[in-house]
Structure 1
Amino acid sequence: MKKIITLCFTLTTTLMLAQNTQYSKIIDSLLQASIKENHMPAMAAAIIKGDSIFYGTAGTISNESTEKVTAKTLFHIGSNTKAFTSFLAFQQIEEEKLSLETPFFALFPELKTDKNSAYHSITLKDLLSHNAQVQPFTAGEEFLSLKISAKTAEAKRIEFAQQVLAKPTTEKGTYSNAGYVLAAMMIENTAKKSYENLLEDFMKQQNWEYSFGFPNKKNLNNAWGHWVENNKLIALPPTHSYKLEDFMLSAGDLSMNIVDYAKWLQMHLKGFHTETGILKSENFKKMHFGIDNYGYGWGNAVQGTQKLSFHDGSTGTFYTHAILIPENQLGITIFANAADEKHVEAVYKMQQQLIAYFKKIANSNQNKH
């Protein structure tokens, strides 16, 4: 996950909903300039301020298409899926079916052997905060040693766990996709329902559009991922062999559109300040800031007196960046359907441009009063 760029700003104004179109047009123009300058197929962005969401889009679903992206176009959010996994875990915690201190092997004693004794004390807390010392499984070659023969994703996770827990430990704090697969196993064990069905239930309750896997596999008019081959940006069609294993969904294989993802971030911001009935406020705070540097599905930092929560997600063909400043009820997120180094730099440059523009608006509105 890319280290957060320093943010030093304060927004105190409430942006009026009537100005939504005006602000969205500005975001559109900023995004359009960025994709032109950086030779990117498309970007989408949203700013959340209190009860208001302002968003913009620019570009086409792929560099081989004239189909423009819209606010409803799905992008792959990669590892930002981990926040959903953490959320589902905290739902189970509130129902008193799980706790952060629940040991993994208390739920899966049949997987406990002398060969994996180094992992015998790992808990849900360790898995969600990347402190269980399990191997990362962030690179494709790590999967080559696996032998998975089960038919369902739920059964595949069991086979995956058996093999992961037979491997040597890593250092505490090692970012681990595998850890989030084990966490998903704990969630579905206590919920008596598959991780996939739990996530589907939540998304449908919110009436949010989504897909599991790359979004153009669901609909050709969703965003296509891109990577660089022979110095050329290539669009990956839905038939391309590159995909994530279905049993890895909980670590990073969800796709959403910019509006619904912004509503997800807004849910977290509101959860810091009031009881929403979705999750207790204390648990929203714990999820983001329960442990320094990386809580449960979210990174965090303190700059001056301001606490920031953030996460980036990428599978190498898309890039998603999200940052929350709960004190100001402010959030920013940016999607891109390319993730080369220069494209990631463009995402962070866009973050700064959006901050500068809305700071200007805030100052202007303050001067009027």
Structure 2
Amino acid sequence: MKKSTILLFLSFSALCFGQSTSQFVDSIRIVYNIPELSYAVINSKAILEIEALGKHSIELSDAATINDRFHIGSNTKAMTAFIVAKYVEKGKLKWTTKFFDIFPEWKEESNVEYHQITLQDLLSHRARIQPFQGENDPSIPEFKGTKQEKRNSFGKFVLTLNPVDVDTTHKFIYSNAGYTLATMMLERVTKKSWEQLVEKVFHKDLKLDVGFSWPENQKSKDTWGHLFENDKLIPVASTVDYNLDFTEPAGDLNIKLKDYIKFIQFNLDGLEGNNNYLTAKTYQFIHKGIENYSLGWYNIYENGKELSTHSGTVETYYSLVHIDRIQGKAYIIFTNSFNQDTQQGVRLVMRKLKENYGS
């Protein structure tokens, strides 16, 4: 068989394989009533498969595109930890820097049980900080000022609260507020706000189009998140205030799938032992330096596999990312809804992608 014929056959086989996967995924999307679902399978060098399926909203006719933006919720944590890591490499902080080394003037008024917490404790949820995930949160005073000033006031308040108890079952206390405190440390030593640091690292340095808050769907065609109320999905306009004040570094970025792929490819490349924007040593620490939950990633060892995983939602979008650290592949799924059906549909899609690509 001629080389050109072989290449044509392989290309046709890959196309059919991709079509078969997308048909399966779209059937899952429809059965589980997910308005839009985009997914990708990648390695450090290439996109193995990518697709956008469905519509921007259940009430709109415009179809999904690869250029759509999705709010990624708590998958923001890995991006915030990535920014912190860059400035640790620059020598602005150490992973072991104590919070009150940076904010000594707050120590006396803070709960004594927080006096030894470090940057890595905060990013790995080991500081026992109250979670602030929307359920049974302590009442928060009304803070004034810029976003950065409000974060500082919130952080100072959080440090007066009692810590959460840890037991043998719970190895860490997942805390959005802990990411606010870690970000405050970075803001003080860099003299830049988190928003400015996102612009510097992702826009200027890495050329990634990262946005804040909801994708803008009132000025252009883009995704609408969907709440689930009274057993039905309700589209949410980007102008709706969803009250993620003070914990934006833990969960308030939006991004196009292709740009998020590039971010994950930096991580895959680093995990393969290569220096890029961060050093290979830093990537190893981010993903594997701390058991159970490292820095922005769940650190999982099971059934002979090594995984970095995370999901993200503020109950209108849902994203799920699995990095297979042994095979050097990543699986990314973005949706614009959130309920039990969305979660189950995404689990089935993730299982199918892994079956197809050998994880």
**What amino acid sits opposite 2:23 in the alignment?**
S
Give, in whole Å, the separation in 1 of the partners of 2:143 and 2:192.
Answer: 21
Q: Structure 2 CA distance, aligned partners of 1:142 and 1:31?
A: 37
- Does residue 211 of structure 2 align to residue 211 of structure 1? yes
Corresponding pairs, count: 343
1:189–1:58 distance in 2 versus 1, CA, 3 Å: same
Q: Distance in 2 between matches of 1:117 and 1:90?
A: 27
Instruction: Provide the residue aligned with 1:130 in structure 2.
Output: 125
Q: What's the C-alpha RMSD, in Å, of the aligned pairs?
A: 2.0
Cα distance in 1, alignment partners of residues 219 and 267 from structure 2: 29
After superposition, give the CA deviation of every residue in 1:168-193 in whole Å (9 maximum; x if it has no partner).
11034110000000011111112221
Structure 1, 28-37 or 158-167: larger mean CA deviation: 28-37
| Counterpart residue number, 1:258 | 257
TM-score, normalising length from structure 1? 0.88
Q: 1:195 to 1:21 in 2, by over 3 A?
A: farther
* Distance across 2 between alignment mates of 1:294 and 1:330: 20
Structure 2 residue 45 is matched with structure 1 residue 51? yes
Tell me the residue number matched to 1:8: none
- The letter for the 2-side match of 1:354 is L
Secondary structure of 2:350 counterpart: helix
1:26 and 1:256 map into 2 onto residues whose CA distance is 27
* Matching residue within 168, 171, 186 for 2:165: 171
Q: State the partner residue of 2:326.
A: 327
SS at match of 2:68: coil
1:220 shift after superposition? 4.1
Paired residue for 2:67, among 72, 84, 96? 72
- Matched position secondary structure for 2:293: coil
Aligned amino acid, residue 140 of structure 2? S
- 1:226 equivalent in alignment to 2:226: yes
Q: Which runs of 5+ in 2 are unaligned?
A: 1-9, 167-171
Deviations 1:106-164 (A, max 9, x none): 111122224422211111011001011111010066374322112x1111111001111
Indicate which of 17, 26, 29 corresponds to 1:32.
Answer: 26
Q: Distance in 1 between matches of 2:11 and 2:158?
A: 49
Q: CA deviation at 1:28?
A: 3.1
Does structure 2 retain, via aligned residues, the 8 Å contact 1:27–1:45? no
Distance 1:257 1:30 in 2: 23
Could you give the per-residue CA deviations for residues 257-287 of structure 1, whole angstroms, max 9, x where no partner exists?
A: 1111122111101001233331110110110
Q: Which runs of 5+ in 1 are unaligned?
A: 1-15, 363-369
- 1:117–1:86 CA distance, 2 compared to 1 (3 A): same
Other-structure match for 1:299: 298
Q: Distance in 2 between matches of 1:243 and 1:28?
A: 35
Distance 1:108 1:218, change over 3 A: farther
| Contact in 2 for aligned 1:214/1:243 (Cα 8 Å) | no
Q: What fraction of aligned residue pairs are identical, expressed as a percent? A: 32
- Where 1:185 maps in the other structure, the secondary structure is helix
Matched residue SS, 2:291: coil
Residue 290 (structure 1) aligns with:
289
Tell me the alpha carbon deviations over residues 330-350 of structure 1, each in whole angstroms, 9 at most, x when there is no partner. 100101111101110110110
Change (3 A) 1:275 1:219: farther
Q: How does 1:94-109 map to 2 (within 5 A)?
A: 94-109=89-104
Q: CA deviation at 1:207?
A: 2.2
Whether the aligned pair in 2 keeps the contact of 1:74 and 1:210 (CA below 8 Å) is no
